[in-house]
Amino acid sequence: MPELLQFLFSGVTVGAVYALVALGFTIIYNASDVVNFAQGEFVMLGGMLTFVCHAAGLPLPLAALIAIAATSAIGVLMNKLAIEPARGAPVVSLIIITIGASIFIRGGAQLLFGKQIHSFPAFSGDTPLRIGGATILPQSLWVIGGAVVVFIGLWLFFTRTLTGRAVLATSNNRLAAQLVGINTNFVMTLSFALSAGIGALAGVLVTPITLTSYDVGLALALKGFAAAMLGGMGNPKGALAGGIMLGLLESLTAGYLSSQYKDAAAFVVILLVLFFMPQGLFGQKSVDRV
């Protein structure tokens, strides 16, 4: 029993990170129909920039804040320079653009920060807490708490604020949103800033546990993408559920079956889900007008 609890703890922690990445995918997808494969690089930048600022002598909270703000700015730049000019391009071209952006950011990070592995101290110490015979790191609670706060914050933003509703309106029908006076370009900018900021936050929270280096982004982007598709692309609830499920699947497979094939289990389940529910778990059936 403590064993199972232990796997659940680690699964939920990893799952919370996937969920944050998947939420980032969802926000940009809703605003622009683009799946941003550079989402994982935002996580890398969050951890990496925090490390750089912290190593330069800044206190950790300030370092984290600067990292998140800087990553948001990079997200906005990416939108302005690479996504907006290619508006209306086919899916394959957009995939190549965002993967190009991710390779570009990764290459830049390698030049600036080197190939070493970096980290910074955990927020509330490294003494594991004991719950029901299993242990959990205080930092894991930060990660899980972070995901919950971001999810609730987004939910409030999208349902309770005018700006949030403008984003939803844009994702439903871009032209109609423009016609009622919504500045859709601003919505795009906001979405990229928000999404990059959330990615960076995930990086800040998880780096004390998993450490970071210039090349951690790709794997996270693939997992986050998979989690978002599992839940149903474009649905924040789906992103959260998909992320947690993916994390749990991985840790349970690693614990009970084979640690080598933990990623395989995740992708087998995704293939099976898509076979039977082509729109993901929470996705709505889309109807195309011909």
Partner 1 sequence: MRLSAKSATLLVLIALVALSPILFPSGYYYRVGALIFVNAIAVTGIVILTGYAGQISLGHAGFAGIGAYACALAPVHLGLHPSLALVLGAAISGVIAFLVGRPILRLKGYYLGVATLGLGILVSMVLNNERQLTGGPDGMEVPDLGLRGLLKDAGLDLTNGQFWYFFCGLALILGAWLALNLYNSPTGRALRALHGSEVAARTVGIDVAQLKLRAFVISAVYASVSGSLLALQNKFITPDVAGFMHSIEMVTMAVLGGVGSILGAIFGAAVLTLLPQVLTVFAEYEQLVLGLVMMLVMIFLPQGLLPSILRKVRGKGE
Phi-psi region of 173 (alpha: psi -120 to 50; beta: other; left: phi over 0): beta
Polymer length of the chain: 290
Phi, psi of 61 (to 5 degrees): -60, -40
| Minimum distance from residue 240 beta carbon to partner 1 (Å) | 18
Nearer to partner 1, 99 or 169 (CB): 99
Nearer to partner 1, 91 or 176 (CB): 91
Nearer to partner 1, 169 or 263 (CB): 263
Give the binding site for partner 1 (CB under 8 A).
Answer: 35, 82, 85-86, 89, 91-97, 99-108, 110-111, 218, 222, 225-226, 229, 233, 260-261, 263-264, 267-268, 270-271, 274-275, 278-280, 288, 290
* Cβ-contact 229, 242 below 8 angstroms: yes
Phi, psi of 136 (to 5 degrees): -145, 140
| Minimum distance from residue 226 beta carbon to partner 1 (Å) | 6
Nearer to partner 1, 92 or 179 (CB): 92
| Minimum distance from residue 184 beta carbon to partner 1 (Å) | 19
| Minimum distance from residue 276 beta carbon to partner 1 (Å) | 9
| Minimum distance from residue 190 beta carbon to partner 1 (Å) | 22
Tokens 């394959």 belong to: 92
| Minimum distance from residue 264 beta carbon to partner 1 (Å) | 5
Nearer to partner 1, 114 or 132 (CB): 114
Concatenate the DSSP letters of all residues of 34-96 into one string: ---TTHHHHHHHHHHHHHHHHHTT--HHHHHHHHHHHHHHHHHHHIIIIIGGGTT--HHHHHH
The closest alpha carbon to 47, from 128, 148, 118, belongs to 118
Nearer to partner 1, 5 or 99 (CB): 99
Query: Using the 8-state DSSP alphabet, how is residue 84 labeled?
Result: G
Nearer to partner 1, 176 or 219 (CB): 219
Which amino acid is it at 275?
Answer: F
Between CA 244 and CA 265 the distance in angstroms is 14
Between CA 11 and CA 231 the distance in angstroms is 17
SS3 235: coil
Nearer to partner 1, 162 or 276 (CB): 276
Residue partners of 98: CB distance under 8 A and separation at least 6: 34, 35, 36, 37, 38, 82, 83
| Minimum distance from residue 120 beta carbon to partner 1 (Å) | 25
Rounded to 5°, the CA angle 146-148-154 comes to 100
| Minimum distance from residue 165 beta carbon to partner 1 (Å) | 25
Rounded to 5°, the CA angle 57-63-64 comes to 155
